[in-house]
């Protein structure tokens, strides 16, 4: 038997004479190869954009919140009056006053906005999850999955305001839904609770934002390996057990992302409250709009800051409930 030559590989990389004789150039520490534009040039546009349209406006809002407005004129002296007015009424600390320890209407408005947001989030999840489940689990071909998903996205091809206004002929006294109820004999005359009510407002918001939950949930469900589901079924798991133990936990990142989208959008909502609810309720968005219209920028800034803090708290709570990084 012939002995292996010195240039042949004997099974260990370290014994290869060719690799031993190969010269590797070592780059001095701290020396960066010239691969094109400097990194600072590449990130400069993004940094400039963030500074101009995020950092500077946010800093301006914070500064404005410590000013006061008197008859349309701004007083730039430092003051916490606007924050006090946001949280408390006149006579808040007076035991003899009728409003003793009574929170202000602005705090109540923030709470009602949060309550509406939670209600719509739950409805969007109830409506959106079955749609996403059907697209990901029941539609087998990718072509039909994308086609039906685009059908769900059709409402976003039109203006948001047009979609909100479209609910008026649907829910009005002479609207389609009222005519259907009368023709079916369910009611004797058109009902008033459909439009300019909490019912109509909630339904409109659910329809406007449900697609924001369908997308993330659909993509999370579509990533689930079908072989895992088949293995669970082969081991005797029922359909409910497969959903509870496998499908639902793996789809939680999509649920969390969709709920974050809906939560942030709804907390700043104001157009639907005016169009569908007829201005009968106030949201933090409408309060900001009203005070901006009368040039009371400091108090509008305080409401904006409180809204932003509420959004941040809500997003943190959702992220604490579902560890997106771990699940992904």
For 228-252, what is each residue's pLDDT tens digit?
999 999 999 999 999 999 999 999 9
If you write DSSP's letter for every residue of 246-275 in order, what string do you get? IIHHHHHHHHHHHHHHHHHHHHT--HHHHH
Kindly state whether residues 287 and 171 are assigned to the same domain: yes
pTM to 2 decimal places: 0.80
The residue behind tokens 């004789």 is: 21
The whole-chain average pLDDT of the chain stands at: 83
Residue 270 pLDDT > 70: yes
Average pLDDT of the residues in 209-237: 91
CB 153 within 8 A of CB 147: no
Q: How many distinct structural domains can be found in the chain? A: 2
Q: Is residue 96 part of a domain?
A: no
Instruction: Give the end-to-end CA distance of the chain in Å, rounded to a whole number.
Output: 56
* Model pLDDT, residue 71: 76
More confidently predicted of 15 and 304? 304
Percent share of the chain, pLDDT over 90: 39
Average pLDDT of the residues in 281-287: 87
More confidently predicted of 17 and 326? 326
Q: Is residue 172 part of a domain?
A: yes
Torsion angle (degrees, nearest 10) of CA 170, 174, 177, 181:
180
More confidently predicted of 303 and 89? 303
Kindly state whether residues 49 and 158 are assigned to the same domain: no
Kindly state whether residues 74 and 150 are assigned to the same domain: no
Kindly state whether residues 195 and 165 are assigned to the same domain: yes
Question: Out of 92-96, 108-112, 313-317, which region has the weakest mean confidence (pLDDT)?
Answer: 92-96
Q: Is residue 75 part of a domain?
A: yes
For residue 90, how far is the Cα from the chain centroid? 36
Q: Is residue 25 part of a domain?
A: no
Using CA of residue 218, residue 221, residue 226, residue 232, what is the dihedral sign?
negative
CATH number of the domain that residue 218 is part of:
1.10.3720.10
The residue behind tokens 């009902």 is: 191
Residue 12 pLDDT > 80: no
Residue 263 pLDDT > 70: yes
How sure is the predictor about 9, in pLDDT bands with cuts at 50, 70 and 90?
Answer: very low
> In which domain, by residue range, is 259 found?
105-327
For 44-83, what is each residue's pLDDT tens digit?
999 999 999 999 999 999 999 999 988 778 888 899 989 9
Kindly state whether residues 44 and 126 are assigned to the same domain: no
Kindly state whether residues 244 and 166 are assigned to the same domain: yes
* Model pLDDT, residue 254: 93
Using CA of residue 181, residue 186, residue 189, residue 193, what is the dihedral sign?
negative
Alpha-carbon Rg for the chain, nearest whole angstrom, is 30
For 101-141, what is each residue's pLDDT tens digit?
677 889 999 999 998 899 999 999 999 999 999 999 988 88
């Amino acid at each position: 038997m012939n002995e292996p030559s010195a240039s042949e590989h004997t099974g260990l990389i370290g014994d290869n004479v060719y690799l031993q004789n190969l010269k590797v150039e070592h780059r001095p520490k701290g020396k960066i190869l010239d691969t094109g534009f400097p990194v600072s040039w590449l990130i400069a546009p993004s940094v400039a954009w963030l500074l101009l349209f995020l950092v500077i406006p946010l800093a301006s809002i914070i500064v404005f919140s410590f000013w006061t407005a008197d008859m349309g004129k701004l007083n730039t002296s430092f003051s916490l009056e606007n924050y006090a007015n946001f949280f408390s009424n006149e006579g808040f600390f007076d035991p003899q006053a009728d409003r003793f320890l009574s929170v202000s209407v602005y705090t109540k408005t923030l709470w009602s906005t949060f309550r509406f947001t939670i209600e719509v989030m739950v409805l969007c999840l109830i409506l959106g999850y079955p749609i996403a489940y059907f697209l990901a689990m029941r539609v087998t071909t990718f072509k039909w999955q994308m086609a039906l998903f685009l059908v769900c996205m059709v409402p976003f091809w039109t203006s948001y305001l047009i979609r909100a206004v479209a609910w008026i002929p649907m829910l009005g006294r002479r609207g389609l839904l009222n005519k259907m109820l009368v023709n079916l004999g369910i009611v004797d005359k058109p009902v008033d609770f459909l439009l300019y009510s909490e019912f109509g407002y909630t339904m409109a918001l659910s329809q406007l934002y449900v697609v924001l939950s369908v997308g993330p949930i659909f993509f999370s469900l579509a990533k689930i390996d079908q072989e895992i589901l088949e293995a669970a079924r082969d081991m005797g798991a029922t359909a409910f057990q497969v959903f509870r133990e496998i499908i639902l936990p793996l789809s939680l990142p999509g649920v969390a992302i969709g709920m974050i989208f809906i939560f942030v959008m709804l907390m700043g909502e104001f157009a639907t409250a005016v169009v569908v609810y007829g201005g009968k309720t106030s949201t933090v968005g409408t309060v900001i709009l009203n005070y901006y219209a009368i040039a009371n920028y400091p108090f509008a800034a305080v409401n904006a800051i409180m809204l932003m803090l509420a959004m941040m708290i809500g997003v943190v709570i959702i992220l604490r409930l579902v560890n997106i990084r771990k699940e992904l």
